[in-house]
Amino acid sequence: MPTYDYHCSACNKDFEHFQSITAEPLTECPLCQKKGKVQRLISGGAGIIFKGSGFYETDYKSKKGSASSESKSEGGHCCSGSCGCKN
């Protein structure tokens, strides 16, 4: 679910709210409970952030001696070299 930024003109506060993409925008401020004073703001959003040692290393890296490494030694490669690795 996306996070939307809102501004309340009654209490002059900005806040965030998690809601479905198909849900109607809020009309009441959760901070001061004033109706009709809330406006959804347009924001740039956030990009995808990868942290840690990397998903490739922990999820997709093949073990030595596995079937996928054997196929590489026979000349086969899953990405045809497009990943930048050395076939």
Say if 53 falls within a structural domain.
no
What's this model's pTM, rounded to 2 decimal places? Answer: 0.49
**Residue 78 lies inside a defined structural domain of this protein:** no
Residue 52 within a domain = no
Which tokens is 51 given?
């942290």
Specify if 69 maps to a domain.
Answer: no
In a domain, 56, yes or no: no
Number of domains in the chain: 1
Do 26 and 6 touch, CB atoms closer than 8 A?
A: yes
Cite the DSSP H helix spans in the chain. 55, 67-73
DSSP state at residue 4: E
Q: Indicate whether 22 belongs to any domain.
A: yes
Is residue 51 assigned to a domain?
Answer: no
How confident is the model over 21-65, as pLDDT tens digits?
899 999 999 999 989 889 999 877 667 766 766 666 555 556 665
Does residue 48 lie within any of the structural domains? Answer: no
The pLDDT confidence band at residue 2, using thresholds 50, 70 and 90, is confident
Domain that residue 20 falls in: 3-40
